[in-house]
Amino acid sequence: MTSQSMSKMPSVKFGAGIWRAIKSIGLLRESWVGMMGASLVLFWVLVAVFAPWIAHFDPNASIQPFAKPGTMSSFGYTFWLGTDHMGRDLLSRIVWGSRTVLFYAPLATLSAYTVGILMGLQAGYRGGLVDDILSRISDIILSFPVLVLYIIVIATIGASGFNIVIAITFASSPGIMRIVRGLVLDLRNRDYVAAAQTRGESDWRIMLFEILPNARGPLIVDACLRLGYVIITIGVLGFLGLGLPPPDPDWGGMVNETRQMAMVFPYMTLFPCIAISSLILGFNLLADGLREISLRD
Amino acid sequence: MALLLLKRFGFMVFTMIVVSIILFMLLETGLTGDPATRVLGNFASDEQKELWRDQQGYNQPVVLRYAKWLGHFATGDLGTSIRYKGPVKEVLLPRLWNTAILGFWTFAIMIPLSLILGVLSGMKEGSLLDRGISVFGILTTSVPEFASAVFFSALFVFGLKWLPGTSSMISGFEFKQLILPVMVLVVYDFGYVARMTRASMAEVMTSQYIRTAVLKGLPYKQVIIRHALRNALIAPFTVIMLQINWLLSGVIVVEFFFAYKGFGALILEASLNNDIALLEACAMVAVVVAVGSQTIADIGYTFLNPRIRFS
């Protein structure tokens, strides 16, 4: 082992890692696309966090049906976005709905990543039979049209937030596994891995502390894209009537409930659609900005 | 080449068998709840359920039932739909045909559009045109199909009143009713294909032989058309074939939204109504189409790329 390759060994000090992460967020300034994405995401995160202070009404309370946007309510507050057919304030429902989506989407993505990373590390690092089996399983799951898979799984196990997380984990962890496996195949022959093996570190320690941190770049970009896609999935399931059970606000479900009246009351369907599209756009722009920056250096 | 064909075909059959086992376990065994309750409803009495199980052969061993089911399936007997009160095949085939029409027009518009945009932006990486097209692509892929269907309906149906809002084709086939569904599918899908084309084109443009062609004084147009495009369009072929898989998901949303009587709406209906035989047939068709298009993509790629074909 040469001294040069020794100096390339990553410093896995925790504090240094956090400092680097903060610095790389600062790097985002160089990409206006990434900045726009980050601000959209930040906007919705803030809305979700401060939901009780932004929304004046209970999102499930029936107050005054079919109020046009801007109507004053008898309580002295304005329905800025109007109310739906059940008399619920649309602004409050959209604001509280952001909590739903920003809770389940990251949760499902995280769960899919945990499974996908563990499978990918095993397949890439151990190779052989483990790799063959895991790769075949993921090939089969990936060959299924995603939404057909979701519909069958949700229709059989029932629609609930937890089941949506399970279905998304099942359908998207194979894709993550493939990416991780490819990265591991490239990284496992590096000198620092050989050094760790020589030191006698366990396989799990090598996988999680030597290989995984060095594969983080492409994974972070992919996670952003996938978050956007998971939000689409949750929205589509809600729209098809397979999402979170009513009455709690869910953007896709709101579109489903009000679309029959879109001819007369288009704002009821338009506002939730704008909300979900802007959040997804935020994640996709952020991913594009991050990719641009990671390609630069 | 023959070995590769055989391998791909073998994998195709293997996938379908595994999927059929998973489907069977999900829908026909007690793994996810009693099928008798699912079909007869929560209020059926125990005697009714037992009678139904006996009639449908649910009291036989699972392996035997699976073998029988697979045998029926392979010989073209898809069973009876509970909701439509008739053979599944008669319900399924017209629906598939309708979706094929929808898919045909989507691809007929999406492929030229995404290839042209992808090639234009890949020709000069980082140019203003390239950035513009790529941001536009991100914008359109960020809007879920149901949302763009809402936006387009608001604009073209309620606003301008140019197009009909539903595509149920009750009074015969009408091309006008096809425009909005196709538009929604194209807008959602083209961004990804354009992006892949761009990547492929950008890679080709940095290769040695393009530099040679430019340096020997060929007109730029000729460099692009005669040298770059041929190689740059191999990868998009695979991507477009794989897009069929995405389209199968997209048509569910679009057909549901526009009340189009197609395969996507049928599969949703079947699952919401617990029409087990119909759902199984639909899911198997979806897998056959998806895996079949992937196999064609793989074989086509090998055939188009001489470096793989001759090795």
Is residue A136 predicted with pLDDT exceeding 80?
yes
> Can you read off the two tokens belonging to residue A109?
């993505």
Among B39, B31, B14, B95, residue whose Cα is nearest residue B273 = B39
Q: A155 vs B274: CB contact, 8 Å cut-off? A: yes
Full DSSP string of A199-236: HT--HHHIIIIIIGGGGHHHHHHHHHHHHHHHHHHHHH
Task: Choose, out of B271, B272, B274, B294, the residue to mutate when testing the contact with A (most A CBs < 10 Å).
Answer: B271
Above 90 in pLDDT, residue A76? no
User: What does the pLDDT read at residue A17?
Assistant: 67
Residue B61 has pLDDT above 80, yes or no: no
Mean pLDDT of B257-274: 89
Does an H or E element contain B218, and which?
none
CB contact under 8 A, A151 and B267: yes
Q: A18 forms bridges with which residues in the sheet?
A: none
- With cut-offs at 50, 70 and 90, classify the pLDDT of residue A13: low
Contacts of A274 in chain B (CB under 8 A): 147
pLDDT band (50, 70, 90) for residue B33: low
Helix or strand (DSSP H, E) at B260: none
Q: A144 vs B19: CB contact, 8 Å cut-off?
A: yes
Q: Find the mean pLDDT for residues A269-296.
A: 89
Dump pLDDT digits (tens) for A23-59: 766 777 778 888 899 999 999 999 999 988 887 777 8
pLDDT at residue number B32: 62
Q: What is the dihedral angle through the alpha carbons of A202, A204, A205, A209, rounded to the nearest 10 degrees?
A: 150
> Is the Cβ pair A145, B290 closer than 8 Å?
yes
Q: Has residue A240 got a pLDDT over 70?
A: yes
Please name which of A49, A45, A176, A41 lies closest in space to residue A111, comparing C-alpha atoms.
Answer: A176
Chain A positions touching B246 (Cβ under 8 A) are 145-146
The contact set of A with B (CB < 8 A) is 33, 139-140, 143-148, 151-153, 155-157, 228, 232, 235-236, 239-241, 252, 255, 259, 262-263, 266, 269-270, 273-274, 276-277, 280-281, 284-285, 288
pLDDT band at A8 (very low <50, low <70, confident <90, very high): very low
B135–A240 C-beta distance less than 8 A: no
pLDDT on residue B114: 93
Q: What's residue B168's pLDDT?
A: 77
Q: Taking all residues of chain A, what is their mean pLDDT, rounded to a whole number?
A: 84
Residue with tokens 């990284």: A187
Q: Least CA distance to A159: which residue of chain B?
A: B272
Rounded distance, CA B183 to CA A60, Å? 35
**What pLDDT shows up at residue A6?**
44
- Cα distance between residue A275 and residue B258, in whole Å: 22
Verify whether the Cβ–Cβ distance A277 to B253 is below 8 Å. no
Asked if A210 and A196 touch (Cβ cutoff 8 Å), the reply is: yes
Are the beta carbons of B252 and A148 separated by less than 8 Å?
yes
**Mean pLDDT, residues A227-249:** 87
Please judge whether B158 and A263 are an interchain contact, meaning their C-beta atoms are less than 8 angstroms apart.
yes
Q: Which of A148, A263, A270 sits opposite B249 (nearest CB)?
A: A148
Average pLDDT over residues A114-137: 91
Mean pLDDT of chain B, nearest integer = 84
Q: Among A140, A155, A235, whose Cβ lies nearest the Cβ of B19?
A: A140
A-B C-beta contacts closer than 8 Å: 124
SS3 B123: helix
Alpha carbons within 13 angstroms on the beta-carbon side of residue B131 total: 9
* pLDDT tens per residue, range B127-141: 888 889 988 999 999
Measured in angstroms, the CA of A289 and the nearest CA of chain B are apart by: 11
Tell me what the mean pLDDT of segment A141-161 comes to. 83
Closest CA of chain A from B219, distance in Å: 31
Contact B142, A284 (CB under 8 A): yes
Cα separation of A231 and A224, whole Å? 11
Of B253, B267, B291, the CB nearest to A236: B253
Percent of chain B with pLDDT strictly greater than 90: 20
pLDDT band at B161 (very low <50, low <70, confident <90, very high): confident
Residues of A in contact with B27 (CB under 8 A): 152, 156
Characterise B29 by phi-psi region: left (phi > 0), alpha (psi -120 to 50), beta (else): beta
Residue A80 belongs to what H/E stretch?
Answer: none
| Cα Rg of chain B (Å, integer) | 24
Q: Do A152 and B33 touch (CB under 8 A)?
A: no
Of B142, B248, B252, the CB nearest to A284: B142
- Closest Cα of chain B to A198: distance in Å? 38
Residues of chain B in contact with residue A151, where contact means CB-CB under 8 angstroms, are 252, 267-268, 271
- B19–A266 C-beta distance less than 8 A: no
Question: Residue A288: its chain B contacts at CB < 8 A?
Answer: 134-135, 138
Tokens of residue B262, six digits: 């197609």
Read off the pLDDT of residues B186-198 as tens digits, 9 standing for 90 and up.
Answer: 999 888 899 889 9
Mean pLDDT calculated for residue range A155-169: 86
Distance in angstroms (rounded) separating the CA atoms of residues B130 and B146: 28
Of the residues B136, B243, B249, the best mutation for testing chain A's interface (the one with the most A CB atoms within 10 Å of its CB) is: B249
- Contact across the interface for B26 and A152, Cβ inside 8 Å: yes
Residue B260: phi, psi to the nearest 5?
-80, 135
**Could A152 and B23 be called an inter-chain contact, meaning their C-beta atoms sit closer than 8 Å?**
yes
| Chain A environment of B274 (Cβ under 8 Å) | 155
Choose from A137, A156, A254 for mutation: most chain B CBs within 10 A: A156
What was the pLDDT predicted at A1?
Answer: 38
Q: What is the CA radius of gyration of chain A?
A: 23
pTM over 0.90: no
Per-residue exposure over A126-140, b if at least 16 CB sit within 10 Å of its own CB, e if not: eeeeebeebbeebbb
| Gap from A18 CA to chain B (nearest CA, Å) | 30
Span B80-97, pLDDT tens digits: 787 788 888 888 899 999
